[in-house]
Amino acid sequence: MTNENEVMRFFKSMRAVMWGFLGVRKGSGQEEDMASLTFVHVIIAGVVGVVIFMTILLLVVKAVLAK
């Protein structure tokens, strides 16, 4: 049960970080996230988000330059 709870908390952290990347988040949702998320999960989710973003960006640039 604890492992599933940790996984769900990490996915909530990922969701919060992705909303942060987009820059659209309600104040009440942000406060709820701050109360329920852990610092470590947010840092890991941020690093994963940056890696995903950079990979997509590099693939787009390679596709444009290949033409």
- Residue 51 near residue 20 (C-beta atoms within 8 A): no
- Angle, helix 2-22 to helix 39-66, in steps of 10 degrees: 50
pLDDT (0 to 100) of residue 2: 67
> How is residue 66 written in tokens?
């290949």
Query: pTM for the complete prediction?
Result: 0.70
Residue pLDDT tens, the chain, 67 long:
567 787 888 888 888 888 777 777 777 777 777 777 778 888 888 898 899 999 999 999 999 999 7
- Residue 12 near residue 33 (C-beta atoms within 8 A): yes
Write out the residue range of the structural domain in which residue 20 sits: 2-66
* Locus of tokens 């950079």: 54
Query: Total structural domains in the chain?
Result: 1
